[in-house]
Amino acid sequence: AERTLRLSLQVATNHPVGENIVYFADQLEEISDGEMNVEIYDSAQLYKGSEIPQAVSSGAIDMGLVLIDEFAGTIPAVGLFSVAFMFPSYEVLARAADPESPVRQQIDDLILGTGSRVVWWQDYGPVQLLSNGAPLVSPEDMKDKKVRVLGKPSGDFIKAVGGVPVKIGGSEQFMAYQRGTVDIGMTGTTAIKSRKLHEVMDHVTISNHAQTEFLVVMNDALWQDMSEQEQSWMTEAARAAEMKMREETKTKNLDAQKFLEDETDMTVTTLSDAQIEAWRAAAKPAIDTYIESAGEAGQELVDSVRALY
């Protein structure tokens, strides 16, 4: 091949996000007729997700997979997708994350400022709340409970509803729930299934309160170095991978939800519109915190999302 790109991802290639990257690599090789190919280093052999922003922008690795939130410390505005109850439905999310959407373009530009170019987005689906004994119907159920959080935006949300945020890593999650280190869990629908969390938590509340978005980023200097032909091959393959992922994610999440309902002892609780509204109102301070730390860009992004409702 004329050009080989090295790509680092922290999950295995049989994980849905990893499968999508393999699909991209195959597409790129096919479209470019073998002129371009991708060497994939999976399972965090090279980098943890948190190391990717620095590794890609410095050129230590050509491309990498990263959770969008990993940029949120440096650029608070990109934490948008983890702000609780920002996206009322899957349709609004799809519109906001579409390659042509102003929300998406603004975030891509902010990230480009760090030397990393966003190649495509991978929807990984909504985040839910887990509990033992009773479902979490209203925000009052969170009062003084210890809740697993993933990062700053989810921590702000839990504080806003009166819970106590505790940071627990993905691999310690199962034990933390089993042994009651935290009272309430938080994770994606598909992860409940893959990490067997239904064995240790008996209720899941479909809160859909935040979205997991993975980004595939690339060193911008390398992008500039590519010919127009190469850039257009990349764009085409990336677009194909992104659309495939978006279609599959919705089905996969609903399937996982159905699996939990039918095949496990877990009780799945969905919320009515009025109940969601109560959660949204309770979580409002978290949106204010987001706008406060993200400044003008944050306000603009919130307005753009609301325009899509």
Triad 119, 120, 122: Cα angle to 5°? 150
Distance CA(9)–CA(35), nearest Å, equals 23
Instruction: Identify which of residues 257 and 289 has a Cβ nearer to other proteins in the complex.
Output: 289
Cβ 124 to other proteins, closest distance in Å?
A: 17
Cβ 155 to other proteins, closest distance in Å?
A: 5
Cβ 84 to other proteins, closest distance in Å?
A: 15
Contact positions vs other proteins (CB under 8 A): 6, 12, 41, 43-48, 50-51, 53-55, 57-61, 69-74, 79, 113-115, 144, 146, 151-152, 155, 164-172, 174-176, 178-181
Instruction: Identify which of residues 24 and 47 has a Cβ nearer to other proteins in the complex.
Output: 47
Instruction: Identify which of residues 44 and 276 has a Cβ nearer to other proteins in the complex.
Output: 44
Q: What is the amino acid identity at position 158?
A: I
Instruction: Identify which of residues 70 and 123 has a Cβ nearer to other proteins in the complex.
Output: 70
Instruction: Identify which of residues 1 and 175 has a Cβ nearer to other proteins in the complex.
Output: 175
Cβ 293 to other proteins, closest distance in Å?
A: 8
Q: Where are the beta strands (DSSP E) in 107-228?
A: 116-131, 146-149, 164-167, 185-188, 203-219
Residue with tokens 């491309």: 63
Cβ 215 to other proteins, closest distance in Å?
A: 13
Burial of 204 (0-12, 13-18, 19+ CB in 10 A): buried
Phi, psi dihedrals of residue 61, rounded to the nearest 5°: -135, 150
DSSP 224: H
